[in-house]
A and B are shown apart, each in its own frame.
Chain A
Amino acid sequence: MAAIAGPPQARWMTRAKCRLSRDYGRPARSQGLPEIAAPPADPGPSIGRRLGAAGRASTLFLEGGGRARPSAYDPHVEAKLRDSLQLVVNDTELDSDYRNRAADLLVDVNLDDHDVLVELEQIYLDAWPQLMDEAEDPACTYARFVGIDTYIFNYARASTMRAFEDDPNRYRLVLESLGDGARVARLNEDLVEEPDEVLISARYSWLIPHDQVQAKASDDVWDAIKAKTLPLPPFICLVLPEDLLRDADVKVRPPCALDAAITHHDEWRRGATPNEVVDGDIPRRCCDLVAWYP
């Protein structure tokens, strides 16, 4: 069974969960699943409407049952959306239904970008069960590389995140002031603690086999991954051993264009990064080491 395949209301449950489980220290993690971009049936008297002068502009987005009005022409927005959709259309290993729906959207790109984004996410959601049907047990230890900002905002425990979220540069300087051993110890100490908490949510779960990068220097990691998926060094590497992934029932599969399009990684090409996989939500207990690549 795939790691997680949630119901369409996941997005709205996420928000409810965010409020209900608030620990006043760290908000609950958001969607581990493909997000549902459709607006709520009743967006209600939106907080935008209670914003007074500021809110009047906000309500413009919500008129017409919560859908945005057609956007003004912005060549950047249009080009970015076109690239995302074209990626899906060109992926010949994807089900033709999804490719056709993406092709239909290409026609509408400059009419209403918000609706196109909503529909693109819907395609992803519809494809999710089929994609995860092809997922298999992990066959090796995997790694995910992130930058310091991402580590602080998304993977650090509450106290560390709150202490450094205003300026992750400060966290970098703290790490750089430590010796090698102390630095790795600090990184591991700062990882989110709750074992069952979603550490890496599905849409961000791009992984590569750890042995492909384990002995490489930071600059060479770029070559190993062969994509613009990393910031400038230093990197932080989350190591996810095979046995822990299996114990958590995490399944992996090769990524497809929909995975890339949904996060607008338009430079992704099938096969460009050998043995790259994606999967569902990965819980914290799957990570047993956080490594530093200066």
Chain B
Amino acid sequence: MTAPASQFNREVLALTRLVDPQAPNASVESWRALTSRTPVHDYKLLAVALRDVLPTLYSLGYTDYYRFITRLAAMHDVYEVLPALLLIAEEYTDADAIAAAAGLATNPGVRPADISRVESIMTRVARGESLVGPAGLAARIRFDPDCDPGDDPDFRLLKSQRWPGTIEPDEYAHLPLPPLVAVSEVEAPARDLWVLLGDLRVVGAGVRRLPAAQREISAVHGAAWLGPQVLRVAWRAMPDTSSAPALQLTDTLESFSARLHALQVIDTRLAQMGQRRLRIQDFIALTVDQASPDETLSDAAVYAAGEAGAITLELAQLRRRTYEVRREAFEEALRAFVHDASDRPALPAGTGSGIGYEVLVAALAQQLGPTRTDEPDFQKGIELAVGRLVGERVLTYVGQDQLAWSTDEPGHEIQT
């Protein structure tokens, strides 16, 4: 059933208020929480919801959250929030709104009317009538490829990343600048666009979106925005009309292994282009670390990562980084499972809520040996063991690839 936009907006508003903007990995966690709840049928609803909650956060005075979501949108090139930012920028000359709007306005998906409004604001900034000092310079650099960044090396780097076409590819690769990836929306599988943008941010890439419907942009402007250093990624073969190299993805990104594979393919291509490599180990660590028990990451995906030589190393790090009480409970339960103890330990309330299902599966499989993982009894045993580890919740095994989480409240069963 289709969820009405306003209902999704309320959920997005609640989600934006359920983060600590200064928390570790706050942007990663928030982006993943938002994208995982975006209705599959229409990924654009997320952009619309973010556009709609920004004025609400601002007008209610949730300043930290407003800034956080503004930056989250800007970092993931969610240009659809531009009308909301423009309103705040025009009414209140809000520096954060102007800064974000200046960057987002360069996306070719922006409506010409909104471009005119940004140009008007930038004219006042250039005249020194608004947003003076480094904020004004940064905004003008983001918006205008011809803006002189002056001698400050930080602002020169800002210009090089925003307008990579203004410098030579070799020079770009030798500067401390992130690799740039532009993701095409054309025929992108549901939600995968957002997922890939988030994953690319995690591994250290700068991202921009190539919308399906693009306005006309000048050849000079477009070449500066999408220079030969930028890798274009799409799910459909792209015409060779740009100086930027292109890469076609073939899979959807519904599983951990597919996401990992996509990043590896992109990383390989960036390396061929002479660009900086991606930090794929960060993706593995953060994804496994943050996975919740009701996330559908299969043990097959974990083994795919294991075969890639990643998961075993990361598991050791994860276990060191896991909250102590959870780790003790985890290890105790693991021992009980391995030795099939009849008197299984009770876990402290909530200790299971942060343990990823695939972490458990990987750990259990590592203990028991990979050859047994194909046996149905082993699969069932693992799933039951996971069920015992989730504390207040009860996991019921209802068949291969089907797990049912139930709480002590009737009617709240969640199928995964």
A68 touches B133 (CB 8 A): no
Chain B residues within an 8 Å CB radius of A79: 353
A31 touches B135 (CB 8 A): no
Shortest CB distance B160–A (Å): 9
CB < 8 Å: which of B17, B134, B204 contacts A158? B134
B96 touches A39 (CB 8 A): no
B134 touches A162 (CB 8 A): yes
A129–B53 Cα distance when bound, in Å, is: 32
Interface residues of A in 84-108 (CB under 8 A from B): 86, 90
Q: How many A-B contacts at CB < 8 Å in the complex? A: 252
Main secondary structure of the interface of B (DSSP, over half): helix
A204–B23 Cα distance when bound, in Å, is: 9
Is A154 positioned at the interface, with any CB of B under 8 Å from its CB? yes
A72–B58 Cα distance when bound, in Å, is: 22
A149 touches B26 (CB 8 A): yes
Is A69 positioned at the interface, with any CB of B under 8 Å from its CB? yes
A146–B26 Cα distance when bound, in Å, is: 11
Interface residues of B in 192-241 (CB under 8 A from A): 201, 204-206
Interface residues of A in 242-294 (CB under 8 A from B): 263-267, 269, 272
Is B55 positioned at the interface, with any CB of A under 8 Å from its CB? yes
A170 touches B161 (CB 8 A): yes
Chain A residues within an 8 Å CB radius of B152: 159, 163
A163–B8 Cα distance when bound, in Å, is: 34
CB < 8 Å: which of A71, A149, A177, A230 contacts B11? A71
B23 touches A61 (CB 8 A): no
Name B's A-contacting residues (CB within 8 A): 3, 5-11, 13-15, 17-27, 33, 37, 48-49, 51-53, 55-56, 58-64, 67-68, 71, 74-75, 83-84, 87-88, 91-96, 99, 103, 130-138, 142, 152, 154-155, 157-158, 161-162, 176-178, 201, 204-206, 276, 282, 285-286, 289, 317, 320-326, 349-350, 353-354, 412, 414
Q: What are 22 A-B contacts with C-beta separation under 8 Å?
A: A22-B95, A24-B131, A48-B52, A51-B83, A54-B48, A57-B52, A58-B56, A68-B10, A74-B14, A75-B414, A86-B349, A86-B350, A147-B25, A153-B21, A163-B152, A165-B74, A166-B103, A166-B158, A166-B161, A219-B321, A269-B325, A272-B325
Q: Besides A40-B60, A61-B56, A272-B323, 9 other CB < 8 A contacts?
A: A12-B61, A25-B134, A27-B95, A31-B64, A167-B75, A167-B206, A172-B204, A264-B19, A266-B353
Q: Which 4 A-B pairs have the closest CB atoms?
A: A173-B176, A163-B154, A159-B134, A231-B24
